[in-house]
Structure formats: C-alpha cells, structure tokens
Amino acid sequence: MIAWIVGSGLRFGRLVVAMALGVLAIGIVQLHGADVDVYPEFEPPAVEVQAEALGLSAQEVEQLITVPLEQDLLNGIPWVEDISSRSMPGLSVIELDFEPGTDLYEARQMVQERMTQAKALPNVGTPPIMIQPTASTSRVAMIGLTSKTVSTMQMSVLARWQIRPRLMSIPGVANVSVWGQRDRQLQVQVDPDRLRTRHVSLTELIESTGNALWVSPLSFVEASTPGTGGFVETPNQRLGVQHVQPITTADQLADVAVEGAHDPPLRIGDVATVAEDHQPLIGDASADRTPGLLLVVERFPDADTTQVTRDVEAALDAMTPGLTGITVEPRLFRPATYLSVALGHLGVAGLLALVVFLAVLGSLLRSWRAAAITAVSVPLSLTAAAFVLHLRGETLTTMTLVGLAAAVAVVVDDSVGDVSDVRQRLRSDPTAGEQRATSVVGDVLAARRGPLVVAAVVVLLALTPLLLAGGVTGALARPAIVSFALALASSLVVAVLVTPTLAVLLLSGHESAVRVSPFDRWVHRVFDRIVAPSMGHPVRGLLAAALLAGVAVTAVSLAEPGGVLPPLQDRNVLVRLQAAPGTSLTEMYRVTNRAAAELRGLDGVVSTAAQVGRAITADEVVDVDAGQIWLQVAPDADYSDTLDVIRATVRGYVGLRSSVKTYAQDRVDVARGDAGKQLVVRVYGNDLRILGDTARNVREVLSTISGVQSPSVEVPPSEPTVEIQVDLTKAQRFGLRPGDVRREASTLVSGLTVGSLYEQQKIFDVVVRGGRSTRQSISSLESLLIDTPSGGHVRLGEVARVGVAPNPAAIMHHAVSRSLDVTATIHGRGAEEVADDVTERLRGVSMPYEYRAEVLTDAADRESGNRQLALLVLVLALVVFLVLQAATRSWRAAAVLVGCVPLALAGCVLVTPFAGSLDSVGVLGGIGAVLALSLRQSLVLVRRAGQLRREPIVGPAAGVAARELAPSVVMGALLTGAVFVPPVFMGVLPGLELLHPLALTVLGGLVSSTMVVLFLVPLCLGVLAPDSLRLRTATARAAHETEVPQ
Amino acid sequence: MTTRNVCWLALALVTMMLGVTGCSHAAASEHAPASRPAAKVEAGDGSHPARITLSEEAVRRLGIETQPVRTANGSGAGAALVPYSAVVYDAEGSAWAFTSPSQRTYVRAPLKILAIENDRVTLTSGPPPGTELVTVGAAELVGAEAGINGEE
C-alpha cells in the first residue's frame, strides 16, 4: 500500500512539491498568530459556588449558608467526584470536582439547575453565585489605580461603574475583581446614647431612613413597595408622572423627619450623624507602595493571554483621558511579557538551529541538490505538525514544544536515511533518466518504511503509560505526546509524498549529486580502522558495554528526584504572607506594605503590588490575615540571584509564614494539593470538640500499627471570637426576645442596608449603622443599648453573656460533613497493606454516634496504580518484544534489540546531572527522542543485514550492514546535534527552561546511541553466529569492493 | 588531519561544552546568601511565658515600637493606662501585652482590663508603670510565639 502511495505521489510530482512548499509557507505565517501559553490546562473540571455574607462568623456561615446549599441543593449532581466546602468569616465557598473528561459547560448546566432553588436560603447576604470558569493560570493583568487628589471611594465608584464593565466586555475576560474597593454608602451613624436621650428607638430610625428612599429591601418598611408614578390622561395627551428623588447628599438625608410623633419634630440629623462612608472591608490593596485600588483581570480557559492583554491595555488607553487625576498602572503583572520574551528566545534558538543545520548539511554533503531535499523535508514535517495543532484550535505550550523537539531526532533521521539510501541506489546508474529514477526511488522508499513504521508503533506503545497517568502529570504530558506523535506522522507523510518527488527531480541524471562524498569516505575509513577490528574481539566489546551499563545504572540509582517541571524564568513573582489567625486588616496591611516597600528597594525589583484579604468574586479564598505581594523582576537582573535575595528578605519577617514562587508554579502546586501525603484517615463528625477527641483516638490507634510513622492530627487554626449568648430569664424580665437582641446588636455593629439611592445610572446603598465607638472593643459591645418594648433601654451586657472563645478560623467540609484529617507517613511496608490493616483496626474502634473514620484511598490507590503501571510496563515490554520479533523474523535479533537499545540511553543518563533531575520533563523528552532514534536505526540495520543474507540474520552480514549505514547514522547524529547545540549554548534563558535540558540530554544520548547502533548491535548479532571470526575478513572484502568504482 | 586527531578534537570540544554548562550551574547555586536567624523563641514552662529575641534587622523590618505604661495621674498612684494597640487577646479571651524587659527581647504579660475608651485602656492589674510595652507589631510577635514562620 505504501508503494502505491509513493507511486501516486511521484505521478503528480511537481504538484505535490508545490503544495508542500505552500504548506510550509502558510504554516510559518499562521503560526505567528497562534495561541501561545506557558502550560496547557491542568486543572480537572470543577465548578465553584460562592456566597458572601459580610460580617457573619465562620460558624454561622456554615450553619446558615453552607449546610443548606450543600445538603439540599448541590449534593447529588451527576458526574460529581468530590464535593468540599470552606466556611470562613463572611464567605462560603463550595467546590465541586467533576470526573475527568466531563464537559465543563455541561457540568455548569447541572449546577445551575440546582442553584435556581437557592432563593430559599436565609436572607443574610448576597445570593450564591457560580464563579465564572477561568483558566488554570487565570490572571492575565493587574491594574493599579492611585491618585493624590481623588479619594479611594471616588475611584471605587469609577472602577465599579465605568472601568469594570468596560473591561468585562472584552472577549476572553472572565472576571474583573476590584481589590480595596470602598463602596460609597450613605451611612446613618448611630450613637445609642443620643438615641436614648431623644427617646427614639432604633427601629423608628430604621423605618425613617428606609421610608425616606424610594426602594428598600426590608419587608417591614413601607418602601419595600415603591409604587409607580402612573400617568395623567388628557383627552389629547398622556402625560407620564415621575417622582424625582430629592435626596442626593448626606445633608439632605439628615433633614428627613423621624417617624413617630415627637415634640419638637425631630430630624434624622438630630439623633444620628449622616455621612458618606464605606462598607466594612474584607480586603485592601496598594499599587507600588501607594494605597489605591487593584483591578485583577482573569481570563476564560480558551482565551489567548497575549490577545486579551493587548485588548485590556487598549481599552484602558481609551479610558485614560476620562480619568483625570488618577494614575493608571496597567503593567503590575503581565504574563504576556514572559510569553513574548520566551517566544523571542525560542525564535532566536530556532533560527540559529536552522542556520547551523544548513551549514553542517552543506559541508557534509557537498552537493546542494542532495542537501536541498533534507533542508526542505525536515522543516516541512515540523511546521506541518505545529500547523495541524493550530488548526485543531489547540494552544501551543511548553509541552507542545517538548514533544516537537523530541521528534526532531526522528524526523532528521527519516530524511537523512531516505536520501542516503536513494543516493546509494542511483549511484549504480548515475545517468538514468527520470523514468528509471522514479521506479528506483519508489522501491527504495517504500521498502524503508516497513521498519520505520514498526519503530514508530513501538515508541508510541512505550509512551502509553504516560497517557494514562492521571492528575496534573497526565494533563501536562498529553499535549507533549500528542505533538510527538503528530510530528512522527507528518514525517511519515512527507517521506512518502514529498521526498520521493524531490529526490527524482533533483537527483536523477546528476552524477555529482549521488557520488560518494568525502564525508562518506571518511566515515568508512574510521569504521574500518576502529570499529571493524574490535568486532573481531567480541569479549572486549561486550565487557566495555557492560562497564558502560554499570556506570549508567549507578548514575540512575544515585540520581535525586527533583521537580518534574523546572522553575520558569518568569519575571512575575508572587510572595504569599500568612500571619497568625485573627490578625486585623490594618495590621496585615501595615506589615504587607512594609514588606512590599523593602522588596521594592531591592536591586532588580521594578514594581510591587500588594493585596490583603479578599475581594468580591476574586480568586483568593483567604481571610484578612493573609497578604500577597506581586513583584516584577527587571529583565536584565540575574534571575536566581534576585529570587534568593527576595526569599531571604521575606524570611526575615518574624511571625509570618511566606512562600515565593512564580504564578504558574503557585497554581500547579495548588492544583496538586496534598497529593504528597502517604496515609490519610478522614474522621467525619459534627461537634468540633468530639471530632478532635475522636481524631486523637484514631491517631493512637495508628501509632500501634507497624509501618505507620509519626501520625498527627491536622487541627485547623482557631481565632478568638466574641460570643454573645442571651440569658433567657434576664431578657424575659425586660420583655426582650433573643432575636430582637440579635437584630439590634447586628444593626449597630454590622450595619443594616435600609435602601438604595439611584443617581446617574449608579446605585448606592443607604445603611444604618452604629458609630465607630459602638464596635471598638469588647466592653463597648457590652455597653450597647437595646430598645425594650416598654420604651426603655437596657445594656447588652445585662441581658446577655458577652465572652471570648476560640472558634475555627475556617470550617472545612468534605462529602457534606465536617471532617478532620489524621495524616502519617508509611515506612517499611507497602501502602496498600498498611491501608488494609488500618481499615481493619478502625472497624474495631468504637466511635460516638454519627461519627465515622475512613482511610482515604488516594495513597493506596496511587500505590496500586503504580503496581498496575509496573504491570502495564511489563506487558508492554513483552508486546514490544513480540512486535520486534515479527518485524525481524528472528527471536535472537529481537532479544538483541531489547537488550542493546536501552544502553543507548547511557549517554543521556550520564549527562543528567548537568541537565536537571532524571524525572524532569525536558530530560524525559530527550530520553524518549534518543530511544526512538536508536530503535529505528537498529531496526533498519537488522533489516539491511537480513537483506544481505536473504535469511534470518546472524554473522558478518551485520557488520557489513553497519558499515553501509554508518555514514547516514553519523550524519543524522551530527545534524540532530547541530539543531540542539544552539539551545545548549544559549543557556537557561526564559523560554528555554525545558528545551535546554532536553537538548543536553539528546546530545549526550546521540553519542551513546551512535556507538550502540554501529558497534554494539552488530557485535551482539555477530556473537550469535558460529563463524564470527570471519567478521573482519568479510567486512574488509566488502570495503574493498565499494571503494573500487572510485 | 588524521582520523585519530579529529576524534580527540571532537571529544575535547564536547567535554569543554559540558564543562562550561556544568560550571555555570554550580556557580549559580553558590550564591544563596547565608541567613542569620531572625528570631529566637525560648519556649516557656508553666509559670514563665516564652521569651522572644529578635535580631536588629527583624525589629527594623516589622517596625516594632514601644511605649511605657503610664498612670492616670501622671506619676505613682492611679490606674495604669496602656495604648489599645498594645492589647492582644488569646483564644480564651484573656488580654495580654508584650513587655520588652531588654532591647529586642519580648515577653508576654497578662492584663486585666477595666475599660477601653477610644485609644486608651485602663487596667486593674498588669505590668508596673514604666514598663515598655510593644504598641506596633504585637500581632507578629503572637505569630512568632506560635511558631508561624519560615517558608511553605
């Protein structure tokens, strides 16, 4: 069949070549505009539901919001693998993890159907919302707004009503959150003593304020039904009636009469202070050491980072003239910069590689015709593969690059081997016309494809375990393998359609193009002088091979596992700071700004942006005791040195836990979660104290099981919380009910939104709240005055107990229940055994009613997954052996291949200490490339030797075949080396973090691979022959014969 | 140039290249600056609370400030007054302040609060008048005592 395809291609010769050149040109042009990103999407499909309830404690958030949402609404949605939630002061976050492969938008549909019933929740905060789907590395830009003349509150109004809507309308933008937002509110600030003096109750004040406005959310206030103006119908005209709100400022609201009959008539301003102020803050921000607003722009999963960044900056440019007095800094965080720098370096490396490749090609072949074939087919295969990926709409990432780079060795070998074979055949009849050349070329190339297809199949089989790996590793490995396979396939297509035509057009009838080049002669000379004689002493050769294998194995066993992903040279750095639970916003803001100022003063840091706490619908789910500083390192500063100084500086802040990473690394670590813990027993229950006791019980049980080391209970941090509990007897004496006490205290401390003001297409809240002195300290809480039904007042401390107790800073739920984790490491025994033991023992432990403990199967799953993987690898090795046997038609040859080809990796392993760790992606890609290359060349060798003997190969035929293939193998190695030398010399620049170790590994592997293919494999094949002593004479005779026509 | 010489030359080039790359990696890893411990926490036993000693740099970074305990009348008798920003609450609600017995050393001391008015706290019992109390940075000292430090 392949012969037929080759023949058809040759028939439409010139057309095929024209199309090929067209594809090459279009591919190069189109790839300019391709979507590019650092990593592919690695987060599993998940939906997040958030509900804000400002001022509610963690426990109440859990009781009033999280539990109804989780238990009644979100439990039981199809395809959900895991449901977990986090209740913290003011926020409830529920995360639903879906089975891998679930379509994200279908999953969101399922969740939305349930969410429509959420209006049954208590009216304590904003209704729950489903967070927009965002990419794994979702932050695209951070914009700082600062001003010396405009207040932060006025900037917040602009940001909320002007800037955010404009940015949200940009295609690709999923969410814009505003940090440090201070919502402009009209606040009626109550002093309970003043109210008491004027004999006005809090409820009267609330009603007065609410009824002064058009609209109120409070059902007991008449303004909850504003009514419509109506119209006046004259016989001729209909005149609409509109009521114009007379209140726009605080002074005007202060002039409104207080409800109830008072003598003299009272105004709101007589009993309270009316002022413009903002809501209680859940977070704050500063841009480059100046307090202000920080807008964070996030993108959808399929959006292109560079395009969205450009659009955002263009939109801001257009808006800037209208933002007088405000300094807009749009480049506080810009991943697109890293992408463009990385692409620049990749472009330079690629260009250099191409130049060196062409130079080496020209000097080795000394004939532009022969060189032209390889010069066209190699770039064509790679560009076609990248183009196909782009047409499929896939984003080109570092993983795609690794796959394509690993395929270079194979693509080069394809082309070089084909050309070399064709030249050799045409050499015997150099003056043949096109007709004759066509049939020769057709035969040669069709015949070559057999072993190469087998080699491709074997390599792809070997890569299957990676495809089946789950989690982040699988998500990152898949694009690399897909692009590798695509490059192999396109190389096959090019070799079958384009190379034959080029060969016929350029080589037929030109004797100069097909004659033996000086390089060929040199290789044969070296082979005869060094390799051939050694083949006569098989024992020495095998000993040397064994020695090399031993060194390689020692190197592997000594290798330390490092990070799978090498750190990227991204100049955007994220510093996280975590203080003691319960730290105030003011203090966290102070310390974070001090740290940001010190970091800004370091050499090499060009800008800082600081965030504390959270913002509405933002991507950080933390309380005000956490801060983040986003730094930008100068392009010309030494990256690792600057990072070290930053780390040392941040570590010097006592009382804070810190982490310094790039944003992409931070997101990968968050996605990985706690996949590193070995044994986790989850205890489910309701009461936190009993849960703690049960967990400690479980820990004692675990410590008695052999193999389990250092079990510990992960206690969530707790913070001091003021607890107010109404004493029913005392309250009854005053005629008060607990709910009344709660509502009045809440209004004074937290504030109550009584209505809205509509102004110029903007909506502002009107809030009744206690003045600052009412919530300043615990004793001021005790002194809060509560209205009694009889018209008097009573202090809160007289009807309720006001005390401080530790409360969890955040409450976690797993599978809809409170839980505590007991973690331990496993040592000395297999994880699955230990897990079974633990499950057995736990069955015998008595637990309180409604409590249970479960061994999380993750670790045991992983080990059985590892065992399954090992089994799969073994099965694959067997399948590979059988496939090789079928291809070579000899059991001994297959055995030799399976034994010798892995030795080609010795060079890779020896180079690894310079390239990074053995399990890093770049090194693994290089190993894959070298493996594929050496397997292909060995198979071709075996096939050629078989042809020479016309029977299953043994004996000197292998040596002769090796000598024949030596020039193309060495040329392939030199050309591949030429492509990879520029990335190695350029060093670890941004963009080359993965390519550099890959290139280094391939270079090391090329040396050992050439030696294995040209020396070890023929030697082993010859050893299986009884007449191996005749090796040298047979080779010498063959050498003499081929040299004669010169 | 004979074949042998070419082989040696190629080998030399490859080794040199590997060496250069290796050296640059080694040089980079020597640059990590030596770090002095920023804080030393001597754990307390039942009767004595922990002592925290900070380095000069750490004090400067956190911007720790102290003020002495005053009395209402200015000197001698009268209720003790401390700034509100010196007060930290523990999990059970007891009030504490960090005293500074010597420079850069801090020890927690219990307070019994009578009243809090604006920024002024009146005590019924606490450290004697004149004791230096930490008024800026007390929250970080709480974290230091709880062992919250280092890199994640």
Looking at this predicted complex, what is its ipTM? 0.83
Q: How much is the pLDDT for B34?
A: 46
Strand, helix or coil for residue A633? strand
Q: Which of B21, B32, B137 sits opposite A984 (nearest CB)?
A: B21
Q: Which of B116, B140, B150 sits opposite A777 (nearest CB)?
A: B116
Cβ of A653 and B62 within 8 Å?
A: yes
SS3 labels along A636-677: CCCHHHHHHHHHHHHHCCCCCEEEEEEHHHHHHHHHHCCCCC
Kind and range of the H or E run holding A613: strand A605-613
Cβ of B91 and A529 within 8 Å?
A: no
The answer to whether residues B107 and B51 touch, using CB atoms and an 8 Å cutoff, is yes
| DSSP bridge pairs for A955 | none
Q: Which residue of B lies nearest to A718 if distances are taken between CA atoms? A: B91
A670-681 tens-digit pLDDT = 777 655 557 888
Q: How much is the pLDDT for A602?
A: 93
Chain B hits for A652, Cβ within 8 Å: 35, 38, 55, 57-58, 61
The answer to whether residues A355 and A488 touch, using CB atoms and an 8 Å cutoff, is no
Cβ of B61 and A777 within 8 Å?
A: no
Give the separation between CA A781 and CA A142, rounded to whole angstroms.
Answer: 39
Q: What count of CB pairs under 8 Å joins A to B?
A: 145
Q: Considering chain A, what percentage of its residues have pLDDT values greater than 70?
A: 93
Give the separation between CA A936 and CA A452, rounded to whole angstroms.
Answer: 6
CB atoms within 10 A of CB B45: 7
Q: Which tokens hold the place of A105? A: 């938008």
Average pLDDT, chain B: 78
Chain B hits for A657, Cβ within 8 Å: 148-152
pTM recorded for the entire structure: 0.82
Q: Please choose, from the candidates A44, A49, A43, A42, the residue with its C-alpha nearest in 3D space to the C-alpha of residue A813.
A: A49
B90-146 tens-digit pLDDT = 888 899 999 999 888 999 999 998 888 888 899 998 898 889 999 999 999 999 988
Give the separation between CA A2 and CA A735, rounded to whole angstroms.
Answer: 96
The answer to whether residues A1024 and A896 touch, using CB atoms and an 8 Å cutoff, is yes
Q: Please choose, from the candidates A706, A500, A651, the residue with its C-alpha nearest in 3D space to the C-alpha of residue A6.
A: A500
The answer to whether residues A167 and A295 touch, using CB atoms and an 8 Å cutoff, is yes
Which residues, other chains included, contact A921 with Cβ-Cβ below 8 Å and sequence gap of 6+? A399, A402, A476, A477, A480, A564, A565, A566, A994
Alpha-carbon distance B12 to nearest alpha carbon in chain A (angstroms): 13
CB atoms within 10 A of CB B29: 9
Cβ of A720 and B149 within 8 Å?
A: no
From edge to edge, which strands make up the β-sheet containing A185-190?
A272-277, A185-190, A762-770, A752-759
DSSP string for residues in A663-729: HHHHHHHHHHTTTT-SEEEEEE-S-HHHHHHHHHHHHHHHHTSTTEEEEEEEPPPEEEEEEEEE-HH
Q: How much is the pLDDT for B31?
A: 42
**CA atoms within a 13 Å half-sphere pointing along the CA-CB vector of A712:** 7
Q: How much is the pLDDT for A133?
A: 86
Cβ of A776 and B151 within 8 Å?
A: no
Q: How much is the pLDDT for A142?
A: 94
Cβ of A658 and B150 within 8 Å?
A: yes
SS3 labels along chain B: CCHHHHHHHHHHHHHHHHHHHHHHHHHHHCCCCCCCCCEEEECCCCCCCCEEEECHHHHHHHCCEEEECEECCCCCCCCEEEEHHHCEECCCCCEEEEEEEECCEEEEEEEEEEEEECCEEEEEECCCCCCEEEEECHHHHHHHHCCCCCEC
Interface mutation vs chain B, best among A193, A654, A774, most B CBs within 10 Å: A654
Give the separation between CA A945 and CA A149, rounded to whole angstroms.
Answer: 85
The answer to whether residues A146 and A609 touch, using CB atoms and an 8 Å cutoff, is no
Q: How much is the pLDDT for A864?
A: 62
Chain A hits for B149, Cβ within 8 Å: 651, 654-657
Chain B hits for A780, Cβ within 8 Å: 116
Residue listed under structure tokens 């633990």 = A838
Chain A hits for B35, Cβ within 8 Å: 648, 651-652
List Cα–Cα distances, A504 to A446, A457, A808, A814, in angstroms: 14, 29, 79, 68
Cβ of B33 and A644 within 8 Å?
A: yes
Give the separation between CA A510 and CA B133, rounded to whole angstroms.
Answer: 96
Q: How much is the pLDDT for A1040?
A: 53
φ/ψ of A257, rounded to 5, equals -75, 145
Q: Can you list the alpha helix ranges (DSSP code H) found in A800-920?
A: 831-844, 857-888, 891-900, 906-915
Pick out chain A residues at pLDDT < 50. 953-955, 1026-1034, 1044-1046
A236-266 tens-digit pLDDT = 999 999 998 888 889 999 999 998 877 788 9
Per DSSP, A528 falls in state I
Cis bond before residue A264 (omega within 30° of 0)? yes
Q: Which of A522, A525, A651 sits opposite B35 (nearest CB)?
A: A651
Interface mutation vs chain A, best among B11, B14, B84, B140, most A CBs within 10 Å: B140
